[in-house]
Amino acid sequence: MCGIVAYIGTRAAAPIVLEGLRQLEYRGYDSAGIAVLDEAGTIQIRREMGKLQNLESLLRTTPAGGYTAVGHTRWATHGAPSERNAHPHRSTDGRLAVVQNGIVENFAELRQQLQAMGYSFASETDTEVIVHLLDHYYHNGCAGDLIAAVRKTLAALRGPSAIVVMSEDYPEQLIAARLGNAGGVAIGLGDGEAFVASDIPALLSHTRRVAFLENRQMAILTRERVTYFDLEGTPLTKEATTIDWDAQAAEKGEYAHYMQKEIFEQGRSLTDTLRG
């Protein structure tokens, strides 16, 4: 079960995304990565095996600064745990980056088709199929319309997927989409900023205003607004929900891991339930 966190706004993006990914560690992962759109408009990707602290160490050595970022923690499905199989994955020209939670059931068939078109693969993952397919449609048939290319790409996939797309050609936006039941896609709404996360705890230290994508829906995020569509391109209206959770209750806190936290907090949880 992978974790996704994305940010677009006016603050340094990488620390916000890394903080959000820490709140998703309970999901389990074997590698982590981040794509940052730097101030020159170039996508910078950093990936590491193991814990988030390894990625944080890499970012201290080779910083990636910018105001838009997409992060991911991976639990291996297609392809062994390795740096090259970690997300984000990029297009051949480096101008598109994609993270995914889910599985592409027809990835072998799509991979063969893409290889026949001349695409080469740097990883063993099904996610890399998505970014190359997106690149293909973006340049062939969609006339540089990224939203249309995302819709066409998702129409070609079988199986559940939640994705976030970053593009150098559209530096002022991120695209999030959900196809099937690939886990949650929460959209956080801030003041001059917006967020995407696989689960609510990743958002709570920044915003309590959250909307949720359902099956076959997508969101276009900019600093100023978020707009919603179904995968046929029909505009949608969504009302944000105000989340009143205790942020600390969603954190690991003093415990070594989330299972230990759950065990030791059972008594208090039972007491709180009885109190109503």
Confidence class for position 267, pLDDT limits 50, 70, 90:
low
What kind and span of H or E run contains 74?
A: strand 66-74
- Range with lowest mean pLDDT among 11-15, 87-91, 196-200, 270-274: 270-274
Confidence class for position 74, pLDDT limits 50, 70, 90:
confident
- Report the distance separating Cα 156 and Cα 110, nearest Å: 9
The three-state DSSP-derived secondary structure of 17-39 is HHHHHHCCHHHCCCEEEEEEEEC
Q: Which tokens hold the place of 218? A: 């997508």
Instruction: Return the domain boundaries, the chain.
Output: 3-245
Mean pLDDT of 32-43: 97
| pLDDT recorded at residue 127 | 93
Measured at the CA of 247, the angle between CA 241 and CA 248, to 5 degrees, comes to 165
pLDDT tens figures, 91-120: 999 999 999 999 999 999 999 999 999 999
- Range with lowest mean pLDDT among 26-30, 177-181, 191-195, 235-239: 26-30
User: How would you classify the pairing of strands 96-102 and 89-90?
Assistant: antiparallel
Per the rule left: phi > 0, alpha: psi between -120 and 50, beta: everything else, 90 is: beta
Q: Which tokens hold the place of 141? A: 């048939």
- Report the distance separating Cα 253 and Cα 152, nearest Å: 43
pLDDT of residue 260 exceeding 70, the answer is no
Q: Is residue 130 helix, strand or coil?
A: helix
Mean pLDDT of 259-271: 51
Instruction: Identify the architecture of domain 3-245 in CATH.
Output: 4-Layer Sandwich (3.60)
| pLDDT recorded at residue 250 | 54
pLDDT of residue 227 exceeding 70, the answer is yes
Mean pLDDT, all residues of the chain:
89
